[in-house]
A and B are shown apart, each in its own frame.
Chain A
Amino acid sequence: MNPTRSALLAGVRDTVPMLVGAAPFGVIFGTLAIASGIPAWAVLALSALVFAGSSQFVAVSLIGGGAALPVIWLTTFVVNLRHALYSASLLPYVRDLPARWRWPLAFWLTDETYAVVEHHLRAHGTAQGGVWYWLGSSLAMYLNWQLWTVAGVLLGQSVPGLASLGLDFAMVATFAAIVAPQLRQYPVLAAALAAGAVALLARHLPYKLGLMLAALAGVGAGMLAERLAAGRTQEEQA
């Protein structure tokens, strides 16, 4: 087999566990978005053009709640800002590549592809078709996400009245299941408690502005708790 093709396929193969993990979220996203009254073209456009799962979920919740456009954009920015870290971390491997490689690879950058590709490039560098490996992982994640979104949209359309069946609860359950394991770390727990309290108090603010306040309060509380914990460790060591 030619080396380009085998690198591409290796990228796809190493991404398979991530594909399996993303599949239920794609279905839940498509179904939920339809159940919240968002038209099918917009649901498909979110997956095809934004292609960032957690921000898509948050956007569905915000759009359904009648949030203002700047709130949606700012929340998307905050939720997706971690991709800048991935972008910075992978830059050394593509610094010398032409723009026709870097622009599409940037578009397809996700948590999953970053995890798989960074691991591979750190071990093997770009010598053995590393960018083809990266492209393989990117395409696999992208096509997988589109496929499961479509499945979710079809499911949402074929079962009318899903919202009244309590499908809106599925969003809360999904978020809770993502957050809960992170609460073992005290600064993250502090961040969650502060954000939750502010969100509850500010829930009547218009345009979902309370979400922005809560996110700021949570990040501030997390950093404060981290600093306090670091101070305590230093005292113990002294």
Chain B
Amino acid sequence: MTQPLWLAILGMVVVTYGIRLSFLVFGHRLAFPPALQRALRYVPAAVLTALIVPMALAPQGDIDLSLANAYLPGTLVAGAVAFYSRQTLPAIVLGFIAYGVWRWLF
């Protein structure tokens, strides 16, 4: 685990509060470039997918496409339900059920 933990959190506080303060408190001295504004639209999908893919395809470190890898079917079910229903919570629940059933079967 990352150490020291309090330093990790302190840095996150400074970074996050700094961003939120930016314009509301120092706004008259700042400008937001339009290219950065467009780039920001892709950040959530890029960061979250970068976290999902290695966990789903290589949960133990090596790529595992065998039946023993329940992460993959679980992730696919969660993603598919969310894609078609646009509902987050049912997607998480059904993904979790798929994961559990898969682990029980194989």
Interface residues in chain A, defined as those with a beta carbon under 8 Å from any beta carbon in chain B: 24, 28, 37-39, 42, 45-46, 49-52, 54-55, 58-59, 61-64, 66-69, 72-73, 75-88, 90-91, 94-95, 99, 102-103, 105-107, 109, 166, 169-184, 187-188, 191-200, 203-204, 210-211, 214-215, 217-219, 221-223, 226
CA distance A164 to B55 in the complex (A): 15
Within 8 A of A (CB), among B90-104: 91-92, 95-96, 99-100, 103
Q: How many residues of B are counted as interface, with CB atoms below 8 angstroms from the partner's CB atoms?
A: 69
A-B contact pairs, 25 of them (CB 8 A): A42-B6, A45-B9, A46-B12, A63-B1, A68-B2, A69-B7, A69-B11, A72-B12, A73-B8, A80-B15, A80-B20, A90-B23, A102-B24, A107-B20, A171-B51, A172-B52, A172-B74, A173-B99, A177-B82, A177-B88, A177-B89, A177-B91, A180-B80, A195-B49, A211-B51
Residues of B close to A63: CB separation below 8 A:
1-2, 5, 8
Can you name 16 extra interface pairs (CB under 8 A) apart from A45-B6, A176-B52, A223-B35?
A42-B5, A69-B11, A79-B43, A99-B25, A172-B75, A175-B52, A176-B56, A177-B82, A196-B50, A200-B57, A204-B61, A211-B50, A215-B47, A218-B45, A222-B39, A223-B42
Contact of B71 among A73, A169, A210, A219 (CB under 8 A): A169
Indicate if the CB atoms of B32 and A58 lie closer than 8 Å.
Answer: no
Indicate if the CB atoms of A84 and B47 lie closer than 8 Å.
Answer: no
Smallest Cβ-Cβ distance to A99: which chain B residue? B25
CA distance A223 to B33 in the complex (A): 15
Smallest Cβ-Cβ distance to B13: which chain A residue? A49
Within 8 A of A (CB), among B24-65: 24-25, 27, 30, 32, 35-58, 61, 63
Residues of B close to A106: CB separation below 8 A:
17, 20-21, 24-25
